[in-house]
């Protein structure tokens, strides 16, 4: 029984070593989204961060498509659409070149980028 308790304690300790801080994926502003989307391979949670970034980008765009009538759209993805990785990487580069937006809402800034990068042809 003692060895079982010790084993459980070691497993709990090992799991906590790789635990992500609770606020690591809280997106309060553009700087937070840029941080998550630019996670480096050397970071222990890089795969999770990039997946979260892609989820934010895809979710925001899907909501935009669902909520915005076609005639009112100002962002139109090209055909073929770029990969999520390309969009995320391009957004990070774009946002870092515009530090004045880092404290703005992340989704607002994302759509500034998208409108400039993927404007609808009128």
How is residue 73 written in tokens?
């759209």
Place 15 in a pLDDT band, splitting at 50, 70 and 90. Answer: very low
* Listed range (2-6, 53-57, 109-113) with the worst mean pLDDT: 2-6
**3-state SS, residue 122:** coil
d(CA 78, CA 119): 9
Average pLDDT over residues 77-82: 95
- Tell me the pTM: 0.81
User: pLDDT digits over 100-113, tens only?
Assistant: 999 999 999 999 99
21: left (phi over 0), alpha (psi -120 to 50) or beta: beta
**Residue 89 CA, distance from chain mean position:** 10
């Amino acid at each position: 029984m003692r060895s079982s308790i010790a084993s459980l304690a070691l497993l709990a300790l090992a799991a906590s070593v790789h635990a992500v801080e609770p606020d690591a994926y809280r997106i309060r502003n553009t700087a937070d989204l840029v941080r998550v989307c630019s996670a480096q391979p050397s970071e222990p949670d890089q795969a999770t961060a990039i997946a979260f970034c892609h989820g934010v980008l895809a979710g925001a765009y899907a909501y935009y498509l669902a909520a915005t009538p076609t005639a009112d759209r100002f962002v139109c993805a090209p055909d073929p659409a770029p990969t999520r990785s390309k969009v995320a990487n391009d957004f990070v580069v774009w946002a870092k070149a515009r530090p004045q937006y880092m404290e703005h809402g992340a989704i607002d800034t994302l759509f500034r980028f998208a409108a400039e990068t993927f404007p609808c042809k009128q």
